[in-house]
Structure 1
Amino acid sequence: MNTQNNQSTEDKRPTHTLYASQTIDGKEVKVRVGVAWKHKKGDGLNIALDNLVAFANKKSDDTAETE
């Protein structure tokens, strides 16, 4: 059994989960969009995005266009 191989497989697991969130009708909606790993050298993270989420912006009454 190769201990180094088993350890490298474990190191590949994400250390963080990434979410996009938005408040819609008073409720917070979270969507998982990816994962991140700590760099082996130095500070920072490597990220892998699964999804791109776009939330529609509602126009408020004072910024609504008038015709």
Structure 2
Amino acid sequence: MRLRALVVLLLVANLLYFAWARGGLAMFGIVPARLSQSEPERLAQQIRPQLLQIRKEESPAPASSRAP
């Protein structure tokens, strides 16, 4: 009987955690930090974003065009 209660309790706890992690409990005001952040807040948290550079990755030459 105790083992069954423990299994049910763990199952309910896992379901609640899953719902919380996916934002399913937002209507109750319980939201993980990663879902509560919006873009303006993230922009304010950036440190020197002007230094960010996006570069194209250079693809290596195909093996057939290389000289042996």
Q: Same fold by TM-score, threshold 0.5 exceeded? A: no
More strand by share: 1
Larger-Rg structure: 2
More helix by share: 2
Give the structure-2-normalised TM-score.
Answer: 0.30
Give the structure-1-normalised TM-score.
Answer: 0.30
